[in-house]
Chain A
Amino acid sequence: MEVELCPILRSFGSEQNVLSRPDGSASFVQGDTSVLAGVYGPAEVKVSKEIYDRATLEVVIQPKVGLPSVRERAREQCIRETCEAALLSTLHPRSSLTLILQVVHDDGSLLACYLNAACMALIDAGLPMSSLFCGITCAINTEGQIITDPSVQQEKESRALLTFAIDSVERKVMMSSTKGSFSVKELQQCIAVSQKASEEIFQFYRDSVKRRYSKIM
């Protein structure tokens, strides 16, 4: 099978500084999937959660309806550890950072959208980071084709679903979460496709920051 070299992402967009209360906020829209993120901090931390040499990061996912369940908790862990790797949290020891992700609408590739919204919100909050990151979801359908940024319908029809977080410096895999079974070759193809697709998102990050600060300067 040919490696698809031009991954197709649904049209995506983002708006920063959408909320007034948090220190940083962003909304991220991929196709019909939409997530709102807010960051509070660096702020005072509870004594029980204090870490002496770096900031404590908490990630909370709020689903569209109902209470967060075990699945959300597992995703919170993935997102938290990805953000922790990117953030230079040693610059804010003994303080707390809180990232809240509110699902506005889920139409597939939700975990990737969480990551993108989180990164935009962290940029907006002006927190020091060693690299940016973005999330890409790949679905492998029954014919073995790789579909990037699938919708809910495409996710349902797929045989395997892989989500990666890619860092902006070396384009390596920061986080990986998969569903369904797949071969090693398919995995490497999906990583290659995601790395390719990440370029587009990182370019978007850069443009939006440029656009925003050109007004101020």
Chain B
Amino acid sequence: MAAGFKTAEPLEYHRSFLKENCRPDGRELGEFRATTLNIGSINTADGSALVKIGNTTVICGIKAELAAPTVDAPESGYIVPNVDLPPLCSSRFRPGPPGEKAQAASQFVADVIESSDVIQKKDLCIEKGKLCWVLYCDIMCLDYDGNLLDACIIALLAALKNAQLPEVTINKETDLAEVDFQKKNRLKINRHPTASSFSVFDDSVIIVDPTAEEEGLSTALMTVVTDEEDRLCMLHKPGGSSLSGEKLQDCINRAVMRNREVSKLIDKVMESVKAKK
């Protein structure tokens, strides 16, 4: 009976739960799904992390390459994030070039990197005007069940923390780069941004960490990115029903709490990885 109701009237089905201040999967309105993190599982990448938020699974692999800096910014390296939603992760995505959703997610990740100064691009410079690092941060979704952006940012941050780059020096005599794979350096992480996504039902009820089904039924989506100093790095709300300043404030407060939870998780996993070595 319940299954039939869910298929025929999905919105009514969700409303009946929201009326009782809970959700079909048993969560409260302000509760995130269980988040797990696995760091450094891909050996071919310079840094990698796999994040699961409920069913949603995202993997981020970082490959570092060498390039010449641009003329405009001779002291800066590059960070190139790309989000891919392969047909593997959900039947809603088709094979071929990335669709609008994947592109919007790529731009979102790029904007977060830019706005939050996660990594100072100057730190990626090896020799001014000659050589710098390019960090290709390739993010792939393996299972799409909503809240892609939160997962992407956690995966990115954890992978950056995990990344180790070989030492590169420029030989003064030959003017050529020399790479020392024995000596590896970690990246300097400047700030720790975390994203929290919200979804609005019927223009009024706000829930956190929506599943794919909840995303589809909601009237607006919003993602708030904060850092450890509780500054906002991003308030991303691509349209949808309007929210008052007070409602936004509630969401921001929840996002600040989430930042603590995620930081704790990343630290814990980083510790356990170190302990294993």
B116 to chain A, nearest CB (A): 6
A110 to chain B, nearest CB (A): 15
Could you show 14 A-B contacts with beta carbons less than 8 Å apart? A73-B107, A74-B104, A77-B104, A81-B238, A82-B239, A83-B239, A85-B219, A85-B241, A173-B244, A178-B236, A184-B232, A187-B248, A187-B252, A188-B245
Number of residues on chain B facing chain A (CB within 8 A) = 35
Asked if A175 and B235 sit within 8 Å, CB to CB, the answer is no
CA distance A188 to B248 in the complex (A): 9
CA distance A165 to B252 in the complex (A): 19
CA distance A71 to B227 in the complex (A): 24
**If the complex has contacts A85-B239, A170-B244, are A184 and B252 also in contact, measured as CB distance less than 8 A?**
yes
Asked if B242 and A181 sit within 8 Å, CB to CB, the answer is no
Chain A residues contacting B219 (CB-CB under 8 Å) are: 85
Asked if A172 and B244 sit within 8 Å, CB to CB, the answer is yes
B206 to chain A, nearest CB (A): 13
A199 to chain B, nearest CB (A): 16
A12 within 8 A of B: no
B18 within 8 A of A: no
Of the listed residues A71, A74, A179, the one surrounded by the most CB atoms of chain B closer than 10 A to its CB is A74
Per-residue CB contact flags for chain A residues 148-169 toward chain B (1 = under 8 Å, else 0) read 0000000000001010011100
> Footprint of A on B, CB under 8 Å?
100, 103-104, 106-108, 110-111, 114-117, 219-220, 222, 227, 230-245, 248-249, 252
Asked if A74 and B239 sit within 8 Å, CB to CB, the answer is no
A9 within 8 A of B: no
Asked if A74 and B108 sit within 8 Å, CB to CB, the answer is yes
Chain A residues contacting B115 (CB-CB under 8 Å) are: 160, 178-181
CA distance A76 to B107 in the complex (A): 12
B9 to chain A, nearest CB (A): 13
Number of residues on chain A facing chain B (CB within 8 A) = 37
CA distance A60 to B151 in the complex (A): 28
CA distance A130 to B235 in the complex (A): 25
CA distance A187 to B245 in the complex (A): 9
Asked if B242 and A76 sit within 8 Å, CB to CB, the answer is no
A114 to chain B, nearest CB (A): 12
A70 within 8 A of B: yes
Instruction: List CB contacts (< 8 Å) of A9-61 with chain B.
Output: none
- Chain B: CB-nearest residue to A183: B231
A106 within 8 A of B: no
CA distance A191 to B231 in the complex (A): 16
A129 within 8 A of B: no
- Chain A: CB-nearest residue to B191: A181
CA distance A200 to B127 in the complex (A): 51
Instruction: List CB contacts (< 8 Å) of A105-157 with chain B.
Output: none
CA distance A182 to B229 in the complex (A): 11
Contact for A173 among B110, B111, B248, CB less than 8 A: B248
Of the listed residues B114, B232, B233, the one surrounded by the most CB atoms of chain A closer than 10 A to its CB is B232
Asked if A84 and B107 sit within 8 Å, CB to CB, the answer is no
Chain B residues contacting A71 (CB-CB under 8 Å) are: 107
**If the complex has contacts A181-B232, A182-B231, A184-B232, are A77 and B238 also in contact, measured as CB distance less than 8 A?**
yes
B224 to chain A, nearest CB (A): 10
Chain B residues contacting A85 (CB-CB under 8 Å) are: 219-220, 239-242
Chain B residues contacting A74 (CB-CB under 8 Å) are: 103-104, 107-108
CA distance A165 to B241 in the complex (A): 11
CA distance A70 to B98 in the complex (A): 10
- Chain B: CB-nearest residue to A167: B242
B259 to chain A, nearest CB (A): 13
- Chain A: CB-nearest residue to B114: A179
CA distance A182 to B239 in the complex (A): 21
Contact for A181 among B116, B238, B248, CB less than 8 A: B116
Of the listed residues A71, A77, A162, the one surrounded by the most CB atoms of chain B closer than 10 A to its CB is A77
Asked if A73 and B242 sit within 8 Å, CB to CB, the answer is no
A94 within 8 A of B: no
**If the complex has contacts A178-B232, A184-B249, A188-B249, are A81 and B239 also in contact, measured as CB distance less than 8 A?**
yes
Chain A residues contacting B249 (CB-CB under 8 Å) are: 184, 188
CA distance A81 to B238 in the complex (A): 6
Contact for A77 among B100, B230, B241, B243, CB less than 8 A: B100
Of the listed residues B230, B235, B237, B238, the one surrounded by the most CB atoms of chain A closer than 10 A to its CB is B238
